Amino acid sequence: MRLVCGEIIELKRPRAASLGAGLQLFTILCDVLTQRDSWAFIVTMLSESPRGRERLSVSKGWRLTDRTKTLLKIELAIVLPAAALMGFSILNLNHFQRSMAVEATFQRDFSHVLHIAEKKTWYKADELITPARQGFPSPAEDKGQIEAKLDQILSAQPGFAYALLYDKNKNLLVSRVQPARAGDPAFCSSSHDAIKAASMWIPMEAPHMTGSLRMMDEQVAFDGGWMVQGNQEVYYSLAYFIPPHVDKGDVALGMVAFDNDFLRNTFFPEVMKQVLTSKIEVLRGDANPPIMIIHPKDSSTPWVTSTNWDGGKPEAERNFEWIFQGLTMGIKYRGTTVADMSAKFLHYNYMVLAALGLLMIGGVWLTYRNVFREMNLARLKSDFVANVSHELRTPLALIRLYAETLELGRLNAKEKYQEYFRIIREESERLTALINNILDFSRIEAGRKEYEFKETNLPELVCSTLDSYRFQIEQNGFVFEEHIAQDIPPLNVDREAIARSLLNLVNNALKYSKDRKFIGVSLYRANGSVRLEVLDHGIGIPSGEQDKIFDKFYRCGDPLVHNIKGSGLGLSLVRHIAQAHGGDVQVESAPDKGSKFTIELPLRSASRVGEALA
């Protein structure tokens, strides 16, 4: 026993060790997949399209942050086990298909049901035979008493066709036919023929039959089969036993024969109904309950069938052995076969696995997409920090330089003082605008951005905003045109927000123009709205990126754009401001043909004076 236990212990240890090794391997796999080089390889494999190659070229500067690694590990922890489970399920289904395991399962269940049906048949027949045995006459009684008792037995059980008593010592054979069917000539003729045939073989077989019965516990046996009567085959079934009060050495037999009509119309249909409606585990909850048949052992012609029998070949069969010999019981599903059900089962499971496979592919794609976005966002945030740092350093450096120069008193000309003061003011305004953009973006992200709507003369606001920026436009060599309509009624807007939107658009036109330096600003009414347009002849925007430029941190893939420092927040803020005023912003552009940005505000906007939460 210790040795066996020791073997069991030795078997359990490697299993636990293999489980730990599997978990360790999974952890290592996740760690490997979350490394930069490994993910770059995955991105390379997934990026076969031109757009994917473009993404890959942009992704060279990516790095996996701790948040991205955690996200990737969580998604891999879901995807990899699910993929392994799907693979195992597919292998298992293939094994089922090759080994016919589904058909074997049905055959086993059907065989179990048929075994139960045969037992129920035995019990039901025994319930009929036992009272007959107990009331059967003794050979010691006179013939009149024997006939009276035989009639009494047949009257009590209409399922018996006839009964007889044989005693070898007295050379006695007394028989009676079912009195309930005495008016049926065909039945009486058939029963008398059977009795006559029995009287010929019983004297020869009785000693052997009596000896066999005395060796049995129940001391009752059955005989059945098919015999020719007239021009047709009929089935017979007998139960024989030793009558009461027979000495051990005497040869005597009692016999009752089942009525064929009773077997076909009552006995077997009741057994089938009990089996098919019973609470057998294999039949419980079956949406398509099976049907049964009884046919001759050597023929497939139905002899007795259950309700709704639809023909066809039974899926499983069982021959009666101890009772009703010569008959075979079969079972099948109505309207289908086990092979069809097996094929349907496999087809259904393959379809489920295919659907799960599509979901898995979708999960892998979402994993790639989420990680791609996380890595792209991390890169954009890194570029944002670098660009904003540069944007802050430049005006601060100029302000500090000119302030130190003024502090040291190195200037003699009054014009120089005025120029230095103007430069300090302009750089301060530039720094203020940048900080305001960052603060506005922070409030928008936190959901705390507030606008103060006031009735405003929009043409006056646009003109004053452009006047403060006109010197910088002209200093950079731009041709500047403005067309401001004066027939625009007062609108409820946030003055500071509209001015900032206009300056962001003009500033972009300044930064992203090459040789054709032109800026045009127009304000006019059109289709029940007010439109503020900023036109330039700059580098333009590809059509595939025009929807993305209003996203936070996004900057076009043009090399000129990346060489020019910027925060990537200006257009995102413009769109948010326009939408907060009930309007929108559109862009019309083409590469090397310039761009036109249009802020459209509704003329009949709601009278919102006060605060409005973004």
CA distance 142 to 538: 132
Is pLDDT of 2 > 70?
Answer: no
pLDDT for res 569: 73
Q: Give which of 155, 195, 193, 156 is closest to 175, Cα–Cα.
A: 195
Angle CA 485–514–424, to nearest 5: 75
Asked if pLDDT for residue 344 goes beyond 50, the answer is yes
**Which pLDDT score is estimated for 568?**
67
- Answer positive or negative: Cα dihedral of 47, 52, 54, 57: negative
> Where is pLDDT greater, at 13 or 524?
524
pLDDT exceeds cutoff 50 at 33: no
Q: pLDDT of 117-129, one tens digit each? A: 999 999 999 999 9
Q: Which of these, 495, 499, 515, lies nearest to 507 by C-alpha position?
A: 499
| Single-letter code of the amino acid located at 160 | F
CA atoms of 275 and 286, how far apart (whole Å):
14
Q: Is the pLDDT higher at 337 or at 467?
A: 467
- Residue 548: what pLDDT? 81
The C-alpha angle with vertex 168 and arms to 164 and 172, in degrees rounded to 5, equals: 50
Alpha carbon distance 336, 323 (integer Å): 31
Contact 540, 589 (CB under 8 A): yes
Per-residue pLDDT band at 393 (split at 50, 70, 90): confident
Is 41's pLDDT higher than 90? no
Global pTM value: 0.48
Q: Does residue 596 surpass a pLDDT of 90?
A: yes
- Which tens digits make up the pLDDT trace of 277-302? 877 665 655 667 888 999 999 888 99
**pLDDT tens, 566-593?**
566 778 888 888 988 889 999 998 888 8
Average pLDDT over residues 366-371: 76
| 226-270 tens-digit pLDDT | 988 778 888 999 999 999 988 888 999 999 999 999 999 999 999
Torsion of CA 38, 21, 92, 289, to 10 degrees: -120
| Mean pLDDT, range 62-86, rounded to an integer | 69
Res 5 pLDDT > 80: no
Sorted by where each starts, the structural domains of the chain and their CATH numbers stand as 103-334 (no CATH), 449-613 (3.30.565.10)
Q: How far apart are CA 212 and CA 48, in angstroms?
A: 86
Query: pLDDT tens digits, residue range 176-224?
Result: 999 999 899 989 999 998 999 899 999 999 999 999 999 988 789 999 9
